[in-house]
Structure 1
Amino acid sequence: MAPITASAPKMTGGSIELREPSLPVKLLTAGTAACVADLITFPLDTAKVRLQIQGEAGAAPVRYYITTAASTLGAGGHGAAAVMVEHSAASSQYKGMIGTVSTIARQEGPKALYNGLVAGLQRQMCFASIRIGLYDSIKLLYQQTLNGRRNSANKNTNASISVRICAGITTGGLAVLFAQPTDVVKVRMQAEARSATGIKRYSSTMNAYSTIARKEGVAGLWKGTLPNVSRNAIVNVAEIVCYDLFKEYILNSGLLKDGVPCHFTAAVAAGFCTTVVASPVDVVKTRFMNAPVGQYRGAIDCAVRMMMKEGPGAFYKGFMPSFSRLVSWNICMWITYEQFKRMVLVAYNQPTMLNRH
C-alpha cells in the first residue's frame, strides 16, 4: 500500500501529484470496507468461536463441579449425572467448519449464525478504521523519523520491513484499546448457544454492554485486553504487513498489474500467514473473554489450563474455520478497500482533473 497524505495537488514535471484524502476519510474508508467483509464472512467467524470454546468446560475450576453437584444431589440425586452428560455432549457438539455452521443453523436457526453482528460491525468501525486506516500514516511517520526526515518530500519511499512491523504493532495495539468492549460483546453473543430453557444471557447488543458493566464493572468490558493486544499485534503484522509486502513483490516483479487479481493473490497469502501465527493467541483470547468471572485468573492461566487439559492441539481448535474466515475476510476486505480508495481518490481529484481540460 502506497503511503497516502493529505497534500494539495502539485505540478511535478508536467504531471499532477494527486491530492490525497484527509485522515477521517481514510479511517471511514477502512472501517466501511471491513464492515462489508464482516457481513459476508460472519457465519464463519461464529463457527470459529464455537469450535474454539468447545471443550472449555474441562478447564472450569473444581469448585464449579462440587457446587453444582451438591445442589443437584439435594434435588434428587440425578443432577450430577445430568451435568456430566450435558458437558460431555457439549464437548463433541461441533465437528468441522461445515458441520458447525449446519449444526448451528439446524438447532438454533440461520439467524444464530449472525449473533453479535451489530457488535461485530461496531468493532470493525472502531478497530479496522484505526489498524488499517492509520497504517500508512504511521509507517510513513516511522520511516521519516528513522531517516531523520530525509527524503520527507518523497512519500513513495519504500519502508523497511522493521518499520512496517513496528507500524503494524502500533496500529493493532492502539485499535484494541478503542474497540475492546465491542469485541467482548461480540464474542459472548457468538458463543451463546440456545439453551434448553430458551433463556438468553443477553437480550440485545446494548443489553450485553449494560449487563457486563453492571455485573462485572466497567473493567469487564475490557476483559482480555492483554491477550487481545498480543493477538492483534500479531494479526496486524501478519495481515497488513504481509499483504503490503506480497502486493509490492507482485507489482515490482511484473507478475500482475495493480488490480483485483493482484489484490486477491496478496490477500490469500496474507490470510494464510495470519491464521498460522495468530490461532493460538486467538483461541486463548476467545476462551478468556467468554469465561464467567473467576474461571481463570488471567490469560496465562487460561493458556496453561488449555495445555494441561487438552494438549497443544487445543491452541489450533477451529483452525479450518479460522483459516477459511480469515482468507475470505482478507479477500473481501482488501478488494473492497482498494476499490473504495480508488473511488475516493477519483472523487477528491475530479475537480482538478476537470480543470486540466
Structure 2
Amino acid sequence: MSKTVKDLAAGTAGGVAQVLVGQPFDIVKVRMQTAPKGTYSGMVHCAGGILKNEGPLAFYKGTLTPLLGIGVCVSIQFAVLEFAKRQFAAQNLASGTGGEGGRTLSSGQLVFAGVSAGLANGIVSGPVEHIRIRLQTQSDKNRLYAGPFDAIKKISSAHGIAGLFKGQCVTFLREATGYAAYFLVYEKLVQREIAQKGIRRDQISPLNAVLYGATSGYALWAIIYPIDMIKSRMQTDGFSPSTGQKYASARDCVRKVWKSEGISAFTRGLGPTLIRSPFANGATFLGFEMANRMLQSW
C-alpha cells in the first residue's frame, strides 16, 4: 500500500471514531447555536428536551451523513497533512535541519501543513456539515427532509449545486484557522515526547495519543467557535418557506446576531462542545495512530 492510501485509510478510522463518540454532543451544540435566544436555559435543558420530545435515538439524528462524510473529511485531513509533512521533511533533510530524517518540523511548517489540510477538508466538510445541520435542526413534526439523500436532492433541485455549499467561505475560514492550531498542538506534543524519551512515534502510548488529541481539540475550538456559530447560522438560514432568509452574507450575519443577541450568542452551545471535544478528538487521533501502526506492517 502506498503512503497516501495508508493515510487515507487511517484517517477514515479516525473519522468514524470521531463521529460515533461526538455526535450526541454535536446535535446539542447545533440546536443551541441555531435556536432563537431564550429557547434553552442551558446544555442540560436542551439535551433533556431532545430526550423527552424526540427520544434517545434523536441524539444520532443525521448520523449517516457525518459517518460517511466525516470519515472522508478526516481521511483527507490526514492524507494532506502527512503529505505536507513528508515534503517538509525532505526539504529539511536536504538542508540539514529537522533532526533525524528531517522529520522534526518547525512551527511554521506545521501551521502551513494544517492550513492545507483544513482547506482540502473544507471542500467536503462544507456540504457534509450543511446537510447534517439541516437534518439535526428539523423537528419530527415539521420534517422537510426524509434523510441525507432526500436533503441533497431537494436542496440541489431548488437552489442548484451552489445551495449545497451554503456558508462555504465561512467553512474555509473555520477549517484553515482551526486545523492550523489543531495539528500544530498535536504534533508539538508528539515531538516533545519523542525528544524527551528518545522513542519512535509508534512507541507513544495510546493513552498519550488520546490526551494529545484532547488537548489539540481544545486548541481548535478556542480558535474557531465563534466562526462555527456563524457557519451554523448561515447553513440553517433560508430554504424554509416559513422563515425566509435572514442574512445576506457572513458579515451581515455577524452584525445582526451581535445587535439582536449580544456577544453571548457567539459562545452559545460552547458547553457541550467543550465536553465533547476531548472524547471526540482523543478518539480521532487514537483511531488514526492505531490504524496507521497496523497499516505500516502491510
So what's the TM-score if we normalise by structure 1? Answer: 0.75
Aligned to 1:139: 85
Contact in 2 for aligned 1:132/1:240 (Cα 8 Å) = no
Aligned residue runs from structure 1 range 25-174, under 5 A: 25-55=6-36, 91-142=37-88, 144-145=90-91, 147=92, 149-150=94-95, 155-174=101-120
Q: Which amino acid aligns with 1:335?
A: L
| Distance verdict in 2 for CA 1:209–1:325, change over 3 Å | same
CA distance in 1, matches of 2:188, 2:177: 16
Gaps of 5+ in 1: 1-5, 7-20, 56-90, 349-357
- Please state if 1:23 is matched with 2:9: no
* 1:236 match: 179
> Retained in 2: the 8 A contact 1:27–1:134?
no
Please name the residue that 1:286 is paired with. 232
Could you say if the C-alpha distance between residues 152 and 27 of structure 1 is closer, same or farther in structure 2, counting changes exceeding 3 Å? farther
Q: What is the total number of aligned residue pairs between the two structures? A: 289
Q: Which has the greater radius of gyration?
A: 1
TM superposition shift of 1:143: 5.1
CA deviation digits over 1:150-204, x for unaligned, max 9?
459964431110111011111101111133222210111112233xxx2301011
Quick check: 1:235–1:278 contact (8 Å CA) kept in 2? yes
User: Of residues 152, 164, 167 in structure 2, which corresponds to 1:221?
Assistant: 164
Deviations 1:227-280 (A, max 9, x none): 000111122112222111122223323499611222122122112211211101
* Conservation of the 8 A alpha-carbon contact between 1:144 and 1:151: no
Give 1:299 deviation, angstroms: 1.1
Q: Is the 8 A contact 2:6 2:292 kept in 1?
A: no
Distance across 1 between alignment mates of 2:282 and 2:31: 23
Query: Partners in 2 of 1:29 and 1:234 — Cα distance?
Result: 23
* 8 Å CA contact 1:144, 1:152 repeated in 2: no
2:193 aligned with 1:250: yes
270, 278, 289: which one aligns with 1:327: 278
3-state secondary structure, aligned to 1:162 = helix
Quickly say closer, same or farther: Cα 1:274–1:179, change in 2 above 3 A: closer
The answer for unaligned runs of 5 or more in structure 2 is: 240-244
Which one has the bigger helix percentage? 2
Q: Give the superposed CA RMSD.
A: 2.3
The CA deviation at 1:341 is 1.1
8 Å Cα contact 2:33-2:233 kept in structure 1: yes
User: C-alpha separation between the residues in 1 aligned to 2:211 and 2:72?
Assistant: 27
Distance 1:239 1:93, change over 3 A: same
Structure 2 counterpart of 1:175, which letter? Answer: N
**Residues 299, 333 of structure 1: CA spacing in aligned structure 2 closer, same or farther, 3 A cutoff?**
same
Q: Does 1:299 align with 2:250?
A: yes
Instruction: Provide the C-alpha distance between the structure 2 equivalents of 1:152 and 1:130, rounded to a whole number of angstroms.
Output: 28
Greater shift in the superposed pair: 235-244 or 94-103: 94-103
Match of 1:315 in 2: 266
Structure 2 counterpart of 1:342: 293
| TM-score, structure 2 as length reference | 0.89
Would the aligned equivalents of 2:247 and 2:253 in 1 still touch at CA under 8 Å?
yes
8 Å contact from structure 1 (residues 52, 318) kept in 2: yes
Q: Which deviates the most, 259-268 or 326-335?
A: 259-268
Gap change, CA 1:156 and 1:341, over 3 Å in 2: farther
- For residue 199 of structure 1, give the secondary structure of its aligned residue in structure 2: coil
Aligned to 1:267, which of 181, 202, 213?
A: 213
CA offset at residue 297 of structure 1?
0.8
Q: Is the contact between residue 250 and residue 262 of structure 1 (CA under 8 Å) also seen in structure 2?
A: no
